[in-house]
A and B are shown apart, each in its own frame.
Chain A
Amino acid sequence: MSNVHERLRRLLFLVPYVSKHPGVTVEALARALNISREDLLEELDLLTCVGRPPFNPDDYIDIYVDNDRVYVDLDQRLFAPPRLTAGEAAALAASAELLRPASGDALQSALQKLEHVLPPQVRERYREMYRKIDASTEAPEALGPLTRAILERREVTFGYASPGRAAEPRRVRPYELLSHRGQWYLQGFCHTRQDARLFRLDRMEDLTVTETPFLPPPDARADVPNPARSSSEASVRVRFSPVAAPYVKERFGQDARPLADGGVEVLVAGDSERWLTQWVLSFGGEAEVMEPVSARAAVARAARASIGL
Chain B
Amino acid sequence: MDRTERILDLVALLLDAREPISWAELREHFPADYGGSDDAAERKFERDKAELVELGFPLTYVQGDDERRDGYIVDRDAYYLPEADLSKEELAVLYAAGSAALASGVFPGRDDLAHALRKIGFFAGESLPTPRVRMELGATQAGQEKEVSARLEQLWDACASRKWVEMSYASPKHPGTTQRKVDPYGLALRRGVWTLVGYCHLRGGLRTFHVHRVRELKANTARPRTPDFQVPEDFSLDNHVAYFPWQHRFHEPLEVVLRLSGALASRASGLFPGAVLEPVAEGGVTLARLKVSFLDGLTRFCLSLGADCVVEGPESARSRLREMAARVANRHADALEDKVSA
**Residues of A in contact with B (beta carbons under 8 Å apart):** 1, 4-9, 11-13, 16-17, 20, 32-34, 46-47, 49-54, 59, 61, 76-85, 87-92, 94-99, 103, 106-107, 109-110, 113-114, 116-117, 119-122, 129, 131-138, 140, 147-148, 150-151, 161, 163-166, 175-182, 202-203, 205, 220-221, 224, 229, 246-247, 249-253, 278-285, 288-289, 293-294, 296-297, 299-309
Taking CB atoms, residues of chain A closer than 8 Å to B213 are: 250
> Do residues A177 and B159 form an inter-chain contact, with CB atoms below 8 A?
no
Q: Which of A7, A136, A202 contacts B270 (CB 8 A)?
A: A202
Q: Which of B143-191 contact A (CB under 8 A)?
A: 143, 156-157, 159-160, 172-173, 185-191
User: Considering only CB atoms, which chain B residue lies closest to A178 in the complex?
Assistant: B134
CB-CB nearest in chain A for B338? A293
Evaluate contact between A49 and B329: CB separation under 8 angstroms: no
A150 and B132 within 8 A (CB): yes
Closest to B126 in A: A21
Chain B residues with Cβ below 8 Å from A87 are 109, 112, 160
A134-B186 in contact (CB<8A): yes
Please name the residue on chain B nearest to A161 by beta carbon. Answer: B263
Residues of A with C-beta under 8 A to B192: 137, 179-182
- Collect the chain B residues with CB atoms within 8 Å of residue A308's CB: 307
C-alpha gap A246/B100 in the complex (Å): 31
Q: How far is the CB of A226 from chain B (nearest CB, A)?
A: 8
On chain A, the residues within 8 Å of B160 by CB distance are 87, 90, 129, 132
Cβ–Cβ < 8 Å partners of A180 in chain B: 136, 192
B40 to chain A, nearest CB (A): 19
6 pairs of A and B residues whose beta carbons are closest in the complex: A182-B191, A246-B172, A296-B335, A91-B109, A110-B90, A285-B327
On chain B, the residues within 8 Å of A220 by CB distance are: 132
Chain A residues, CB < 8 A from B156: 91, 132-133
Please give, as numbers and ranges, the residues of chain B lying within 8 Å of A78 by CB-CB distance: 11-12, 15
Identify which of B51-59, B65-73, B253-261, B275-283 touches chain A: B51-59
Does the CB pair B84–A114 fall under 8 Å?
yes
The residue that A151 contacts in the complex, of B85, B115, B131, with Cβ under 8 A, is: B131
DSSP majority for the A interface? Answer: helix
Q: Which residues of B contact A221 (CB under 8 A)?
A: 134
Which residue of chain A has the shortest Cβ distance to B322 in the bound complex? A307
CB pair A61 B132 closer than 8 Å = no
Contacts of A303 in B (CB 8 A): 303, 325-326, 328-329, 332
Interface hits, B82-137 → A, CB 8 Å: 82, 84-87, 89-94, 96-98, 100-102, 107-120, 122, 129, 131-137
Question: For the complex, what is the distance from the CA of A309 to the CA of B51, rounded to whole Å?
Answer: 70
**Which residues of B does A touch, CB under 8 Å?**
2-5, 7-9, 11-13, 15-16, 29-30, 51, 54-58, 78-82, 84-87, 89-94, 96-98, 100-102, 107-120, 122, 129, 131-137, 140-143, 156-157, 159-160, 172-173, 185-193, 212-213, 236-238, 241, 243, 263, 266-267, 270-271, 273, 296, 299-307, 321-322, 324-329, 331-336, 338-339
When the two chains form their complex, are residues A52 and B9 in contact, meaning their CB atoms are under 8 A apart?
yes
Q: Are A98 and B97 in contact (CB under 8 A)?
A: yes
Q: Interface SS of chain B: helix, strand, loop or mixed?
A: helix
Assess whether B81 is in contact with A117, with CB atoms less than 8 Å apart.
Answer: yes
Cross-interface CB contact of A92 among B94, B266, B338, cutoff 8 Å: B94
**A8-B51, A92-B98, A151-B129 known; A117 and B82 CB under 8 Å?**
yes
Contact (Cβ within 8 A) B115 A51: no
Nearest-neighbor residue (CB-CB) of B187 within chain A: A133
Inter-subunit contact A95/B15 (CB<8 Å)? no
A9 CB contact (under 8 Å) in B55, B122, B296: B55
Most buried by B among A59, A113, A122, A221: A113
Which of A121, A229, A307 interacts with B326 by CB under 8 Å? Answer: A307
CA of A190 to CA of B289, assembled, Å: 36
A106-B89, A177-B134, A202-B270 known; A52-B108 Cβ under 8 A: no
Give CA–CA (A94, B118) in the complex, Å: 16
User: Which of A54, A122, A247, A283 interacts with B172 by CB under 8 Å?
Assistant: A247
